[in-house]
Structure formats: structure tokens, C-alpha cells
Amino acid sequence: MGFLDIKQATKSYGAVQVLHETDISIEEGEFLVLVGPSGCGKSTLLNMIAGLENITSGEIAIRGKSMNGVKPADRNIAMVFQSYALYPNMTVSGNISFGMEMHGIEKSEREKRISQVSDLLQIKHLLDRKPGQLSGGQRQRVAMGRALVREPDVFLFDEPLSNLDAKLRVDMRTEIKKLHQKLGTTIVYVTHDQIEALTLSTRIAVMFGGYVQQLGTPKEIYDNPANMFVAGFMGSPSMNLFPAKVVSENGQSAAEVSLANGTKASIPFATEELASDVGRDIILGIRPEAITDRDGADRNSQAVHIVEAPVEVTEPAGSDTFVVSQIGGKDVTGRFRADVAVNAGDTFPFAFNMEKAVAFDPQSENRIA
Amino acid sequence: MATTHAKSGNSIGRIVLYTLLVFFCIYYLLPLYVMLVNSLKPLSEITAGGMMALPQEWTIAPWLSAWSSAQVGVEATGLRPYFLNSIIMVVPAVALSTIVGALNGYVLTKWPFRGATILFGLLLFGCFIPFQMVLIPMARMLGLMGLAGSVPGLIFVHFVYGIGFSTLYFRNYYAAFPTELVRAAQIDGAGFFRIFWRILLPSSGPIAVVCIIWQFTNIWNDFLFGASFSDFDSQPMTVALNNLVQSSTGVKEYNVHFAGAIMAALPTLLVYIVAGRYFVRGLMAGSVKG
Ligand SMILES: Nc1ncnc2c1ncn2[C@@H]1O[C@H](COP(=O)(O)OP(=O)(O)O)[C@@H](O)[C@H]1O
Ligand SMILES: [Mg+2]
């Protein structure tokens, strides 16, 4: 039993089930990110934890106590919304103190806590302003202050950074991470941005179509995606997924792929997991950073294999150059060092680090190796 | 050449436009002028002709008479008691229908329930039922409630009739009010009424003004319900004005009638002047993002 337990929780609107049976157990102090494309049910699940949506079946418990039927105000949670949801008619300090006032906390204590939180978030000079007089970043801070001051068991964030411009978003991301390290409060955080998920979380739940596709640490999710959806969704640029066939070559199992010039190449696997599947069609998954120029390959890897492949496009990106080749009819991107002389139309050696390769079943899209 | 030509053509167009506008403006304000000047002259000047002329002898006697001594119906009380009737009818009726409309709008948008849309549809339908259709059922209802022929009866009628429109106003206004604010307040621990009172109402100024002006004008100016559901001692201003004009024995005191008519129109005029700015602003709210 964890600190926050989601047990077989589901949500339906009428006949439409938007959240299928979900089990997540969160430990105290964890930073869980729910990530997935728009409409996958992240906010719904978060609102169920908050008590803003009732759950259709199953149970949600905090500190071992069932929260089914408990009002949002009595769950000892605080929430930061995407629109910040600051009360427009109240000042910043009014906004921060409203929740404490509703919970019957005395004025002197309220003022003490407002002062602490506004110091922490550096919003002291804004306390007498109305939300309309604040910039986006300042509103964001106030919204966090309103949540922090409640000293809740669990913080819930619903896409708190998506209304900020790119630079501010990165800064606030760092600040949220620092705050979490400093306060150690349990956080459930919703975002559609996979980079936010990877940078902030201690664990990630990748959601799609009302299902939790995979639950794991950022490293597990990134290195060992459970299916093709997770593989394609997490990471930027995303993982290359292209058709291949399992063959046996020199007593070793290998992936046979077709190149744009009509030839076939076979790339030996790092393990023999697929040795019994010779002849099987698979989808090979390999991240751009595991396809490099020869000298850029990972020196610690035991399974780097060179494939001479025609270069279709090169995309210099400053620190690296992304090099695209057609493999198995798909655009496959490799991440080369910026100073490698490679041009479109060349046939060039691509170094595949097969230790990082994964394989999926083309029909079920599930991971097989 | 071409531009100066276009410019002069433009300015001729403008002169024509403004002349027309001024003409229509005068035409539209003419009745007010006639009422005002004739309410301030002795009857003899009116009967001698010259409705349009300014008074030769200025007097406020017609006003005093209309207010406190003219014959209204059977008694020579002037319009004062009926003016008071209208005030004590219109204030609670406007207040109640606005408050209930605001609550309805709040529930319909922020606490939707099964059948909420249908209920709102029915309320809207209620806005457009012709007054005449409800006269007889309403008379029966008032009788059963013991409110027939009384000011509270009129308050009730106008209150109920006003709910449709006030709900429409507030529902549309609150539909654009961010639901996340309500959710944030729920998490902060505020209940149903507290959220309404502390979060929604403080932001409802513009639409409240629109609603109040609308209700005030309609209820104050209503004649049909006033004539149908009141007794001599509970008649509103509009009905009393009619009686004043009808019941003058002997000579028709046009100057007193004019003064009475202006008195009847004054409160609505006042409301527009005081709150007119907000009225326009409220009507625009929602259509323009702030
Ligand atoms: N009140 C509602 N009635 C019906 N369907 C809803 C309601 N709220 C959300 N949904 C549906 O539930 C699904 C998940 O929504 P949501 O949790 O908001 O997605 P997101 O992952 O983008 O936050 C969406 O397909 C949405 O259309
Ligand atoms: Mg969402």
C-alpha cells in the first residue's frame, strides 16, 4: 500500500468510458507525471484524485484512507490549474489566503504563512496586486503559492506550464523541480509534453486512449518502452520505428532491413532473444542517438554495426547533424556529430548501436525484445 | 485632383448624413419637448392653441396637482400613492428576479444536472409566452394564494415573469466564466453559496446592471398585469396615470396629464442615465474578450 493508491479506478461519461481500469500506487515524496496526447484522460484521472470528478468504479485512497465520496476540500490536496484559476476580484494575498480562510485558519497564522510562501516564491512585492496586473510567469507563481500555503499531502498540477512562453517554461520547470527537492511533497503532475515528463518525474505514467500504457521511471520508459506508442511518444526526436525481418546469419540472429538503393542489409542483434523467431516480421525500434557516424558511436557498446546506407537529407542542428535515410520504407534519423562531412546523395556508413535496439510485434505493437 | 474631389464628395455626404441625423433626433425628442413645455404652462395657454410654444407664464402648479391633489379614479389623491405602490412593487420584484436569475445561471452553468438543458429551454420558452395567455391562470393562482388585488400579488407576478429573462442573461454570462475558478474554490474549501457569493457575484457587475435595467423598465412600464391584478389601493403608476387621464371631470387638464406622464417616465429615465454606460458595457461583455 502506497501513500496515494489508485485501485482499478475507471471513469465513464454515459456509455463512453474515458478511463479504463487504472492501478497506480504512489509513494510519499514521489513526483509522478501523467503524460499523453490531448484527450487521453490525464485531466480526468487528476480530477478524480482531486475529487472534482467522481469515480465510476474502483477506489482512490490517500494515506490508506478511501477518498471515495470525500469532498475535494477535505482531501488535503492542492491543485494548480493550467489557466492558473486565480480569483480575479481578489488581490494576490487574498488569493493565497482564501483557502486557509475557508479552512478556518486564524488571521495571524494566515499572514505568517503568506509571508513564508511569498518569500519562497519571491512574490512579496506582488501581494497587493490583482491577478489582471500580473504577467503569465507571476500568475504561475501565485497559483503555486496558493497551493503551497495549504501544506497539503498531495500537490496536483494540470499542465501548469503550457500557457507560458518557451523560455519561461524551462525556467519554471527547473523551479518546480527545486521546490520538490526542497519540500519533498508528493506530486501528481499532468502534461502532454514528454520532455517535461522526463525531466521532472521520479516516475511516469504514459497514457493513451484511456489506458495507462506504461508506468515506470524515466529511464525505464525511455530505454525500455513497453509498446510502439510509448516508444514513439517519448523522446525527441522520436524513436525510429521501421520494419525488419529476423534472420540467422553466421549462427547469430540479425535484423534484415531493406535500404533505399534496393539492397538489403542485416544487422546482428546484441542478444539472442529472437533466435527462435527466425523468419518473423518485426518492427525495429532504435533511437536517433544510437544511430551515429562511425567515430561517434558509443565506445562501451559491444554491438555497434556499420550499415552503408544512402543519405536522403541532412539537417544540421548546431551541436549535432541529423541524417536521414530510408530504411524499410521509413525515414530513419541518425544523430551525427556536427563536423562529420556528410551530404545528401552520399552513401555513408551508419553505426547502429544494437544494445539500444528494441523490437515490437507489428500486429499487437507490443514489445517482444 | 481625384483625391480632393473624393474628399469634397465625402464631406457633402457627411453634411447630408448629419443633417438627417439631427432632423431625426429632433423629431424623436419632439414629444418630450411638447410634454415638458405644456406641463409648465397654465391650462388656458394650452386651450388657446400653441402646443409648441414656450410658456408665457411658467408654473409648476400642474406638477403639484398631478403629484398630490388631482382626481385619480374616484379620489383626489394625486399620483403620489400610486407612485409609491410602483416603487414598493418594482424594487422587490427586480431584486428577487435578478437574484434568482443569477442563481439559476450559476447552477445551470457550473453545477449542471440531468435535464438542465431542458429546464433552461423551458425557462426560455417562458420568456416568450404572450402576457395575455397567463392572465386567467394567474388570477386564479393569486386568488388561491390570497394575494389577489394586492401589491405582494403584483410583486409575485413580475418576479415569476422576470425569472426567464434574468436566467437567460446570467446563464450566458456565466457560461463564459472559467469553470476552473469554481473548481479551485471547491478545492480551497468553499461551498455552493460561498463560491457564488465570493467568486462569481463580484465579477457579475455588468450583467447585473443589464438585468436590473431590463427588469426595472419592464416592470415599471407594465400596464396589463397592473390593470388586471390590482385593486384601487394597489394600482401601480401606469394604471393610475390612465385613470388620471380618463377620470377628470369637466375640463381635461392637459397640463396636469403631461406632468403625470413625465412623472411616470422619470424613474426609468433616471435608471438609464445612471446605469446606461454599464448597460452598453454589459451587453458587449462576452462578445469582446477583455
Ligand atoms: N464532461 C465530459 N463529458 C463527456 N466527455 C468528457 C467530459 N470531460 C472529458 N470528456 C472526454 O474524456 C476524454 C479525456 O479528457 P481529458 O481527461 O480532459 O483529456 P486530457 O488527457 O487531454 O486531459 C476526452 O475524450 C474528453 O472528450
Ligand atoms: Mg487536460
Given a cut of 80, is residue B1 above it in pLDDT? no
Contact yes or no for A103 and B189 at CB 8 A: yes
Q: What is the per-residue pLDDT across B138-195, written as a single tens digit (0 to 9) for each?
A: 999 999 999 888 899 999 999 999 999 999 999 999 999 999 999 999 999 999 999 9
Q: Which of A150-154, A257-261, B69-73, B195-199 has the lowest mean pLDDT?
A: B69-73
Cβ of A110 less than 6 Å from ligand 1: no
Calculate how close chain B gets to A101, using CA atoms only, in Å.
Answer: 9
Q: What is the per-residue pLDDT across A329-362, written as a single tens digit (0 to 9) for each?
A: 999 999 999 989 899 998 999 999 999 999 999 9
Q: Angle, nearest 10°, between helix axes B2-39 and B254-284?
A: 140
Q: Report the percentage of chain B scoring pLDDT > 90.
A: 48
Mean pLDDT of all residues in B19-39: 92
Mean pLDDT of all residues in B207-231: 90
Residue A43 Cα to ligand 2 middle (Å):
4
* Chain B from 149 to 178: CB within 8 A of any A CB: 178
Helices (runs of H) and strands (runs of E) counted in chain A? 8, 21
How far is Cα B158 from Cα B85, in angstroms, rounded to an integer? 14
Given a cut of 80, is residue A189 above it in pLDDT? yes
* Chain B from 179 to 218: CB within 8 A of any A CB: 180-181, 183-190, 194, 198-199, 202-203
Given a cut of 80, is residue B82 above it in pLDDT? yes
The pLDDT confidence band at residue B42, using thresholds 50, 70 and 90, is confident
Contact yes or no for B190 and A98 at CB 8 A: yes
Ligand 1 pocket: which of A12, A13, A212 to mutate (most atoms <8 Å of CB)? A13
Calculate how close chain B gets to A21, using CA atoms only, in Å.
Answer: 25
Polymer length in residues for chain A: 369
Given a cut of 70, is residue B287 above it in pLDDT? no
Q: What is the pLDDT of residue A68?
A: 92
Calculate how close chain A gets to B191, using CA atoms only, in Å.
Answer: 9
Q: What chain B residue is nearest to A72 in terms of C-alpha separation?
A: B187
Mean pLDDT of all residues in A26-37: 95
With a threshold of 0.90, tell me whether the complex ipTM lies above it.
no
Between strands A358-360 and A240-249, the pairing is unpaired
Between strands A16-26 and A186-191, the pairing is unpaired
Mean pLDDT of all residues in A138-162: 91
**A340 φ/ψ angles, rounded to the nearest 5 degrees:** -75, 130
Contacts of B198 in chain A (CB under 8 A): 87, 98
Q: What is the pLDDT of residue B68?
A: 87
Query: Which residue shows C-alpha cell 447552477?
Result: B107
Residue A72 Cα to ligand 1 middle (Å):
19
Mean pLDDT value across chain B? 87
Mean pLDDT of all residues in A81-92: 91
Look at the pTM and tell me if it is higher than 0.95.
no
Q: What is the pLDDT of residue B24?
A: 95
How far is Cα A152 from Cα A218, in angstroms, rounded to an integer? 25
The closest residue, in CA terms, to atom 18 on ligand 1 is A43
Q: What is the pLDDT of residue A290?
A: 95
Q: What is the pLDDT of residue A366?
A: 94
Residue A14 Cα to ligand 1 middle (Å):
12
**Chain centre to alpha carbon of residue A195:** 6
Structural contact between residues A322 and A315, judged by C-beta atoms closer than 8 angstroms: yes
Structural contact between residues B190 and B199, judged by C-beta atoms closer than 8 angstroms: yes
Q: What is the pLDDT of residue B78?
A: 85
The helix/strand/coil state of A361 is coil
